């Protein structure tokens, strides 16, 4: 067997490095990998430190992932300085170490200093596996499909011809009269038709929502197929736009593709950071204006709730209505008494059960009433449960207002 040349060996290592990061749990999609390979072709690499910096810029999306990246980089390139590609005459060569590329080696690295610092912030390793649709869920989805006529609508600004319209179309009536020697034989009418209102679905796919994320995504797929103005985002430790994926004709195929797109299924949760990231992108924030926004999450924010509270307040201001669907609300005795949920309660137009498909069917039936009700009805609904002067509700808002407004990630 002919031994590979140093250049061929270096090319093999570089091409396989993004895959090693992916196996370690980092969200390295094909786009990031292509950007990394393009960068190392265009940037002069005089040392492994230069290569490491190029990988950090192109392959890593968060500072929190740097420890894992550095550990994988050290293990991957430990015995291969890649001469003639990134070697510098002045570079001091470290003594070679034994490199292991199997799952045990990666597990040893992740169980070291890079793992366990904050379990709520870690990303899940592996690919999400969706199970087959059960018969009760299939029946429930059929009922939901028949109830899609209850989805929110709004009147279009443009008037269109309509035989039984309430307004007379003077221009069309006059043109018709000219064809009958000026005699008006029929009054033509026009109307503002009802068009589907934009809907925005923000789906929490973290570990605490593991038992409900598949149900929610099947519901989102049904809405995306039925309505053209439905946008869907998934969030856990990062934000992923999945609108086009959920528009696939087959639900099972759409979920299978979703598993390749979303890397943080069943992992940690950063609700405030994810919502703030969503609103920081202008084209994403434009999707909220005038929309009915549905947030599927249990609201269990692990860190400081200030970021989540500010983001939800802005979502409420931009949205036509903001409804929070929590599986915890399935309990009749549920009380939103955590600091984050108590503080965002006055901004919500609804806090309802989102634990299963029958509950989501009830949501469709309740949406017309939520649209016609005043803003902030969620607080009025739970006022009797948390108490009109509940200390958690008001102290959370008071603590937030005492702090300077959140202006981005620290």
Angstrom CA distances, 80 to 17, 94, 102, 185, 288, stand at 12, 11, 17, 90, 50
CB 274 within 8 A of CB 240: no
CB 55 within 8 A of CB 73: yes
Phi, psi of 353 (to 5 degrees): -75, 135
CB 385 within 8 A of CB 242: no
Tokens of 138: 């299939």
Residue 274 CB partners (closer than 8 Å, separation 6+): 235, 236, 237, 238, 239
Angstrom CA distances, 382 to 24, 319, 373, 393, stand at 44, 21, 15, 11
Handedness of CA 344, 345, 348, 352 (dihedral sign): positive
Strands (E) located in 219-373: 230-235, 239-241, 292-296, 321-326, 350-353
Please report which helix (H) or strand (E) contains residue 174, including its range.
Answer: helix 170-178
Note the helical H segments in 60-99: 66-76
Pairing of the two strands 230-235 and 239-241: antiparallel
Task: Select from 22, 20, 18, 8 the least CA-distant residue to 39.
Answer: 18
pLDDT at 171: 85
End-to-end alpha carbon distance in the chain: 54
pLDDT at 391: 44
Phi, psi of 232 (to 5 degrees): -130, 135
pLDDT at 64: 73
pLDDT at 216: 95
pLDDT at 68: 85
Residue 254 CB partners (closer than 8 Å, separation 6+): 221, 245, 246, 247, 248
Order of strands across the sheet with 167-168? Answer: 160-161, 189-191, 167-168
Residue 185 CB partners (closer than 8 Å, separation 6+): 176, 177
What's the CATH fold of domain 139-147+197-402? Answer: Rossmann fold (3.40.50)
pLDDT at 221: 95
pLDDT at 78: 67
Residuewise pLDDT in 10s, the chain (410 residues):
444 555 566 777 788 888 888 877 777 777 778 888 888 777 777 778 888 888 888 888 777 778 888 888 888 876 544 444 444 433 334 334 344 444 444 344 333 333 333 334 444 445 688 888 889 999 999 999 998 888 888 777 777 777 777 788 888 888 888 888 888 888 888 877 778 899 999 999 988 898 899 999 999 999 999 988 999 999 988 889 999 999 999 999 999 999 888 877 888 788 999 999 999 999 999 999 999 999 999 998 877 789 999 999 999 999 999 999 999 999 888 888 888 999 999 999 999 999 999 999 999 999 999 998 999 888 888 775 544 434 444 444 545 445 444 444 43
**Rg (alpha carbons) of the chain, rounded to whole number:** 27
């Amino acid at each position: 067997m002919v031994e590979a040349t140093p250049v061929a060996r270096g090319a093999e290592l570089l091409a396989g490095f993004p895959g090693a990061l992916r196996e370690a749990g980092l969200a390295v999609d094909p786009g990031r990998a292509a950007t990394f390979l393009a960068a190392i072709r265009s940037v002069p690499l005089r040392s492994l430190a230069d290569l490491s910096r190029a990988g950090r810029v192109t392959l890593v999306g968060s500072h929190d992932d740097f420890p894992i990246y550095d550990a994988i980089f050290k293990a991957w390139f430990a015995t291969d300085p890649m001469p003639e590609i990134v070697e510098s005459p002045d570079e001091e060569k470290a003594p070679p170490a034994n490199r292991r590329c199997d799952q045990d080696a990666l597990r040893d690295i992740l169980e070291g200093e890079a793992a366990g610092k904050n379990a709520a912030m870690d990303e899940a390793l592996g690919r999400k596996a969706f199970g087959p649709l059960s018969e009760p869920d299939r029946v429930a989805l059929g009922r939901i499909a028949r109830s899609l006529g209850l989805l929110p609508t709004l009147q279009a600004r443009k008037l269109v011809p309509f035989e039984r319209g309430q307004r007379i179309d003077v221009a069309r009536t006059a043109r018709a009269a000219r064809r009958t020697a000026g005699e008006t034989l029929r009054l033509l009418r026009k109307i503002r038709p009802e068009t589907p209102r934009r809907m925005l679905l923000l789906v929490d796919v973290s570990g605490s929502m593991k038992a409900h994320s598949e149900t929610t995504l099947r519901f989102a797929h049904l809405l995306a197929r039925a309505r053209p103005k439905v946008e869907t985002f998934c969030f856990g430790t990062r934000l992923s736009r999945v609108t086009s994926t959920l528009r696939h004709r087959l639900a099972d195929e759409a979920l299978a593709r979703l598993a390749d797109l979303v890397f943080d299924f069943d992992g940690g949760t950063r609700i405030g950071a994810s919502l703030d990231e969503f609103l920081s992108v202008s084209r994403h924030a434009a999707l909220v204006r005038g929309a009915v926004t549905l947030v599927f999450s249990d609201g269990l924010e692990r860190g400081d709730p200030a970021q989540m509270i500010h983001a939800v307040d802005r979502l409420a201001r931009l949205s036509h209505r903001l409804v929070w669907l929590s599986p915890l609300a399935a309990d009749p005795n549920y009380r939103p008494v955590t600091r984050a949920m108590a503080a965002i309660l006055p901004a919500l137009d609804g806090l309802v059960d989102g634990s299963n498909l029958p509950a989501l069917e009830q949501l469709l039936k309740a949406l017309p009433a939520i649209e016609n009700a005043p803003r902030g009805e969620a607080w009025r609904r739970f006022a009797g449960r948390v108490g009109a002067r509940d200390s958690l509700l008001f102290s959370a808002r008071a603590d937030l207002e005492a702090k300077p407004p959140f202006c981005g990630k620290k």
